[in-house]
Structure 1
Amino acid sequence: MRARTSLSTIALLLFAATASAAPIALSSTFNADFSASQSLWAGGPNAGLDESGRTGGSVGLYYSVKANTGTVAATQNAALMANYLSETAEGSLTTIALDFIGDPNGGTVEAAFGAAASTGMFLDISGCVGVVVLGSCVGVPYNIDADIPVIDEGFFLEPTTTHTPVIDTQRSANDAAQTFGVGSLDVVIGNLGPSMNLDLDQNIYFTPTSISGTASYRNVTSGATGSSLFVIPTDAPRNLQLALGVGTWEISFLDIMLQNTFRNDINLELRPAFDYIVGSWPPPGSGLFSFDLIDQTFALGFNQIQNLGTIRVDVVAAQQVPEPTVLVLFGFGLAGVAVRRLRLRGR
């Protein structure tokens, strides 16, 4: 029994001496939020005004005035995820898988251009044709919520898209507005009859093409430093591989930028229609003839994230590991010595 116990102990000690702890898979997530606001015309100043109000109770007056020289604004809220091992053996590349993950509905792109003013009367009336019993209508309830325009002039385009940011995926939006129309009869509260109209039809297209930045690394012990540029060009994770020496390293992700393309396409359309006081059919944007006015493609100037975050990894020195045959022979030798000593004690 003593011999068996000694052999088990020796085997455990031998295994503990030769085995090494496995690296741990780690994951770090950093917020990567980008925003931009600039001229819709690929440069130059931009300005806007948007004022509205109401006065009165259930019946009253309203007004709305808005104008914009041309602005495009965008947000792309996401996270940069880094997946890596806690340690790497000396002589092996330290690999970090970088993945750009958009927040659900964390992306918006909207344009604004035009000038429009309207004023009129509003109705906000509700009641019951019948009898009200204990707060409930016994009969026919009604609710009138309507704006009756007296002045409604100008045009305003506001194409907007809300989406989840994804690298190399295009998002688009459209808006159209009537700028001029003739033919229908003005009946004070609107137009009635056939008309010929000139519309502006705007389409915007936005594509985040890549994420770029710099991985700056420093050896905590020796003070050695270095850096490596990286680019994430698709929706798939991108491996960043670094050749690091022995020691503990801090790796920081700096100067993170969102590369992108934005296209602004505005057309002038000729549209025959029938006006029916509160609308027109077919609606603006359904012209029979179209003429290209503006078609520009440029990049939106998103903010640069100076320091996104830092991770820490270890590079361990390579140890000389004996061949398996040598280990077996060495183990048997130790076991033989132990058994021999036990036998001598038993005499």
Structure 2
Amino acid sequence: MRKYNFCSGPAALPEPVLLRAQEELLDWEGRGCSVMEVSHRSPEFEAVAARAEQDLRDLLAIPDNYKVLFLQGGATAQFSAVPWNLLGAGQKKIDFIHSGQWAKKAMEEAGRYGEVNIVASSEDRNFSYAPAADSWQQSEDAAYFHYVPNETIGGVEFGYVPEVSCPLVADMSSSILSQPIPVENFGVVFAGAQKNIGPSGIAVAIVRDDLLDRALPDIPRSLSWKVAADAHSMDNTPPTFAWYLSGLVFQWLKEQGGVSAMAELSWRKSALLYDFVDRSDFYSSPVAEGSRSRMNIPFVLADERLDKQFLQESEAAGLLNLKGHRSVGGMRASLYNAVPVEAVEALVNFMADFEKRVG
């Protein structure tokens, strides 16, 4: 029996997608071989790639003046790719909102190529809230503005899209496809696949056309968005199986009603868990109300000495990967699109029983 997986990534995949991949594993489209054994330049795989791109465009209502790129190296590679691709027009300042671990990693990498300006930071309260827009200190001549709409580790989510005069860059690794987004307000959106898109090994970048010619002259070929766009993401052999599986997830999402349906479901799931935690004296949320993530929900026990027992018993009950990140501690339940409501109900029931027995 499959268990309920609350892992932050690589995360749960929709069971219908896994079953279809299993069915097609040895004989894909009647070809007598796996999709992993088909040339990425064959007409058959080109059709897979084209459908995946179109389905993603449909799901997010991506305008025609944006390229959709399927890339290698995960979102972390884009920490390097973003400054390499956007600092070639002479501007060297980069505005950042410092909202947690993933913003910090992106800032450190960008600082190797440009001058980082921290517009706002929530470090003063251990990254437990999203800084309000009226606290920003923006640069007048920034090459771009980078933020993380949802911090996977801290469980903080921005309830708004920043309004800036330079290209807006968003790392949506843990929130993409969980709700509609105004793509036209962004210069670049990128995301690692292993949370809401598909398996690890591939990333997606959505890049506005006018930003493809701003790269530094000595940009590595493997990081160039223009090279990737000109080659339809196939300048070299891509991770074809991850691309294929991501495409199946996009099809599944459309069958569920698209990102609007996912948004409604995410609010329902997260409210179920937050409401229980807020009513309890045994559990608590370290994240400020109004900044709480729908995707990644950290919570702590009143007595941290019970953490080990909680994790052992929850795993025995079929509730997997609830341990919080090592930098934060406590627990964390990631409620991505493929995590069903029944999983959250089972978690809440377990938590109530655990509290009754040991609290």
Q: TM-score, normalising length from structure 1?
A: 0.18
Select the structure of larger CA radius of gyration. 1
Q: Which has the higher strand share?
A: 1
